[in-house]
């Protein structure tokens, strides 16, 4: 599992999914499961997040950089 920083590009409040733009320029899709167990209720485009990737390269976890836990 690896981690990186990114910026929220899109967020759909109904499905709780969207895309982030990693600092290296790669756009990654994330599903609602990436928010499971976090305190996040919604994301806004432009928010900075920490992204954890699963071994298959999919986004497993999103966390706003200013929040812990």
Asked if residue 58 is part of any domain, the answer here is yes
Instruction: Let me know: does 18 contact 44? Beta carbons within 8 Å.
Output: no
User: Residue written as tokens 């899109």?
Assistant: 10
Asked if residue 47 is part of any domain, the answer here is yes
Asked if residue 21 is part of any domain, the answer here is yes
Instruction: Let me know: does 16 contact 34? Beta carbons within 8 Å.
Output: no
Asked if residue 60 is part of any domain, the answer here is yes
Q: What are phi and psi of 35, to 5 degrees?
A: -100, -10
| Residue 10, domain extent | 2-64
- Indicate whether this model's pTM tops 0.75: yes
Distances (CA, A) of 69 to 20, 25, 60, 62, 63: 20, 26, 15, 11, 8
CATH of residue 59: 2.40.50.140
Q: Quickly state the pLDDT bin for 1 (edges 50, 70, 90).
A: low
Q: Please write the tens of the pLDDT for every residue from 4-25.
A: 999 999 999 999 999 999 999 9
Q: Please write the tens of the pLDDT for every residue from 41-56.
A: 788 999 999 999 999 9
Query: How many domains does the structure of the chain reveal?
Result: 1
């Amino acid at each position: 599992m690896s981690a990186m920083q990114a910026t929220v590009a899109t967020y759909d409040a109904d499905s709780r999914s969207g895309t982030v733009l990693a600092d290296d320029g790669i756009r990654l899709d994330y599903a609602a499961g990436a928010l499971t167990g976090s305190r996040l209720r919604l994301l806004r485009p432009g928010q900075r997040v920490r992204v954890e990737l699963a071994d298959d390269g999919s986004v497993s976890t999103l966390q706003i950089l200013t929040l812990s836990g």
